[in-house]
Structure 1
Amino acid sequence: MPIEIVQIVQELSSVGGVESVASELACAFSRAKITNTVVASVVGERATSGTHIERVGAWLSRVKTRGLLRYLGRLFVVPIFTMLATRAARHHPEAVVISHGDSLSGDVLVVHAVNAQSLAEKRLSGDWKWMLNPMHLWVSLRDRWMIGGLRYRMYVAVSPRVATELQDIYKVPASRIRVIPNGIDLNRFHRDTAAGIAIRREFGIPLDAKLLLFAGHEFRRKGLAHAIGALERLGPDVWMLVVGSDNPAPYRKLATVAADRLVFAGSRTDMPALYAAADAFVLPTAYETFSLVCMEAMACSTPVFATPVGGIEDYLIDGVNGYQIKMHPDDIAAKISAVISDHEALTELSAGAHATALNYGWDYVGSRYIELLEQVQASKRVPSSMPVPMIA
């Protein structure tokens, strides 16, 4: 019997990590000629040819989940969609249901991050602002039910670190965890020199300047303050372009000598062009699980300078595709200054970054998902069967 796949994700689009992962998987399933459906409330403009879209709670798309009031919007939207999607999944009893955290039960849960570990990292760094975000209470309760309660047959961890956290925090048996990294759309993310030049002209960045790119919606956790500190220590020909929807006001004040070379672009959807505009991508983040932006940068032949946390250390190799950095401006500045003005060194790092990304194409990642989902489907046919064993 041919496999049928149903994905559940609140938003299907190319904006954001989880949203784009679900979209790319849908495309990979379609290219593999597999019948697949996506249950979502918000659907972006990007086409997912061959995928059936089943919208539930479409009216939720009118509630803003980005911007200053995003936490309140999500607190309303996410729980309601989760309930609606959980009910919708029951209408597909023959399908293998894969959820990105937006249904209370299913067959395969993709764990993009373990929220409990993320909060622990924030507490260790002295960041307590997360307590003002009411979404964390919902996520905590949801994760205890979905993960701690073992409501799914299998759990996909996007990195070995996530797999370890699932075992340590929620006691998920190793036999029910499969590590499958996120992928990259190599057709969309590639070096486009003309697009990069257009970005520089849009923001008034000199074409001969050395440009660092930072991208992330949580400026504090992603380490923007450290990146700006590094910019302050670098030469007058080095600029920084910051992409993300967080409040830029507190961070503008951190730049003194480099104030005129720090540009905030806000939230953007043209990330390939932004990567192409940059000479290097910098992300001194405190916690990640895979960091899709780092892999997107590499696909666009942009070397990466990032902290070796949560999966980044699995593919970021010093001197090959970038450099691992510490969350300290001095360390970041020292490693960037060593290569930023060395054309030959940057060229070699760019080539290494692109070569790394070629190993993370979505068709290959999708094939690993399909292999797992076919095994899950086989286990569903035998009511008394044990969970699908992990294949190394």
Structure 2
Amino acid sequence: MTVIVQITPEIGPGTGVGAVAHHLEQEWTRLGIDVRRFSLSEAGGDWLPQPGGGVRGRLALITRVVWFSTVGTRRARAYLRAHPEELSVCHNDVVAGDVYVNHGIVQAAMRARGHYRLRMLRNPLHLFTTTRDRLRYSRRGSHRVVVNLVSAEEALLRQSYPRLAIPTVVIGNGVDIERFRPPSDTERADARAALGRTPDDRVVLFIGNEFGRKGLPLLLEAMARLDDRTHLHVVGGTPDLVAQASSSAAAAGLGERVHFDGPHADPRPWLRAADVLVMPSAYESFGLVVLEALATGVPVVATPTGCVPDLVVDGVNGAVVDATPDAVARGLAAVLDGDAAELSRHARAAAEQHSWSRVARRYLDLLRTVRGIDPLADARGDDLLGEPPGADPIAATRPVSNGGRP
């Protein structure tokens, strides 16, 4: 039986990059493929502390990234040498695996936020990951192919690493359209009541852990321009980030309209209660929460980063706005005053084109292309490289050369 091993520090719903690996694992398992994990545990990092707020939390994060990048790379390479028949997909840190999924470029994120040199120099983790990835992308043997999540990210990758030596393709993330679905009237009413919101309140939702990059300070300024019926619920953030943002909200007179609900693995209760999701990010490699919101029937107001230009249409299922408080406030007002039922219907329709089942099959086609092994052959009981009769055909994604030519 064909085996696929996924290499990433953690795998599970609500864990960012780990959630992508989780959904791929689920879909491949449903297709009868043996899916295995190489995580921080397999890299001998079980003893490392969990990241959190404050200096200790940041040091814990640095330690985990460095460990999985160094010790993890050595152990992952040894594992793959011992199991040459296994196909491999790497999502983070480790420099090994047939396919590497680019979930973000540090340089691009820092440039988008301004004061690039200062941001890079004051955080040793930025310098480490940049050096690590310069080695990753400049050596042809590191991976067989790099997956970028959107076309714009592919361009940024080539700009950030002009000596890119590995072929690239674009495969976007997906969404579980069964798990994330529009709520019934009762589910919506219950979710809003659980947050303390009345039927007349307008619920704005922000989901994210990096408040600065994802634009929460800008959103707080925009909230000051909206009426008193409008409430903002913030899901995510470390204790120190929440404390700082809470002080800013109180200083702006928003203390009673901004609610910090902390990090949660399952965003569905908040999505069911929301009238709109806001993501005024300076940079996103994709922005999975946008797809999850749209699948739940929640319109999105966001800056044109990550998947937003491909998914959000002004006046149809949300608004694409500039990264200014006035622009975000205008986008929110337009959506909140719009036809809620129509916005929700179009939001759901956009997400339905991006199910995880389709995305998982595109990865299988890619693995078949780069390794000449059909992951579905054993599951089907045959040795054919083509799709089984009656299957939904998805053409294999062909790698792009370093110069961008097919």
After TM superposition, the score normalised by the length of structure 1 is 0.87
Does structure 1 residue 223 correspond to structure 2 residue 215?
A: yes
Aligned counterpart for 2:182 among listed residues 180, 191, 207: 191
Residue identity opposite 1:6 in structure 2: V
1:252 aligns with 2:238: no
Any gaps of 5 or more consecutive residues in structure 2? 375-397
What SS does structure 1 have at the residue aligned with 2:158?
helix
After alignment, is 114-123 or 312-321 more displaced? 114-123
Q: Which residue pairs with 1:176 in the alignment?
A: 167
Q: Within 1, Cα distance between the matches of 2:276 and 2:352?
A: 18
Tell me the residue number matched to 2:91.
100
Contact 2:312 2:319 in 1 (8 A): yes
- Cα RMSD, aligned residues only: 2.4
Structure 2 equivalent of residue 146 of structure 1: 136
* CA separation of 1:34 and 1:206: change in aligned 2, threshold 3 A: same
Q: What is the CA–CA distance in structure 2 between the aligned matches of 1:70 and 1:241, rounded to whole Å?
A: 24
Q: Give the corresponding residue for 1:161.
A: 152
| Deviation of the 1:237 alpha carbon | 0.8
For residue 130 of structure 1, report the CA deviation from its aligned partner.
5.7
Task: Quote how far apart the aligned CAs of 1:58 are.
Answer: 5.4
- The change in CA–CA distance for 1:174 and 1:212 in structure 2 (over 3 A counts) is farther
- 2: CA distance, partners of 1:174 / 1:211: 47
CA drift at 1:173: 6.0
**Deviation readout 1:132-184 (Å, 9 max, x if unpaired):** 43321221121011112231110100110111122222236698111000111
Instruction: From the superposition, tell whether residues 174 and 316 of structure 1 become closer, same or farther in structure 2 (CA, over 3 Å).
Output: farther
Q: Quick check: 147-156 or 272-281, which moved more?
A: 147-156
User: Who is 1:135 aligned against?
Assistant: 125
- 2:14·2:266 contact (CA, 8 Å) conserved in 1? no
Tell me which residue corresponds to 1:57: 44
Is 1:378 the counterpart of 2:369 in the alignment?
no
Q: Which moved more, 1:328-337 or 1:176-185?
A: 328-337
- The corresponding residue for 1:41 is 40
Q: SS of the counterpart of 1:259? A: coil
Asked whether the equivalents of residues 212 and 240 of structure 1 are also in contact (C-alpha less than 8 Å), the reply is yes
Compared with structure 1, are the counterparts of its residues 78 and 328 closer, same or farther at alpha carbon in structure 2 (3 Å cutoff)?
same
Q: AA paired with 2:268?
A: P
What residue in structure 2 maps to residue 72 of structure 1?
A: 59
Distance in 1 (CA, whole Å) between partners of 2:285 and 2:224 is 29
Paired AA for residue 218 in structure 2: H
Matched, 1:356 2:350: yes
Secondary structure, in 3 states, of the residue corresponding to 2:220?
helix
Task: Kindly report which structure 2 residues correspond to 1:308-387, keeping only aligned pairs within 5 A, or say none.
Answer: 308-342=304-338, 345-378=339-372
Greater shift, 356-365 or 320-329, is seen at: 320-329
Does residue 192 of structure 2 align to residue 206 of structure 1?
no
Query: For residue 338 of structure 1, what is the amino acid of its counterpart?
Result: A
In structure 1, how many angstroms separate the alpha carbons of the residues matched to 2:169 and 2:262? 36
1:174 and 1:353 mapped to 2: Cα distance? 38
* Distance apart, 1:301 and its partner CA: 0.4
Cα deviation for residue 280 of structure 1 reads: 0.3
Query: Are 1:289 and 2:275 matched, yes or no?
Result: no
Cα distance per residue 1:7-32 (max 9 Å; x no partner): 10101111232010011111111112
- Code of the residue aligned with 1:138 in structure 2: it is F
Check the 8 A contact 2:299/2:344 in 1, yes or no: yes
Partner of 1:307: 303
**Is there any run of 5+ residues in structure 1 with no aligned partner, and where?**
43-54, 381-387
Counterpart CA distance in 2 for 1:9 and 1:97 is 11
Pick which of 332-341 and 294-303 moved more.
332-341
Deviation string, structure 1 residues 217-276 (Cα, Å, up to 9, x no partner): 111111111211111111111100011124123323433343211100111122011111
SS at match of 1:219: coil
| Aligned length in residues | 368
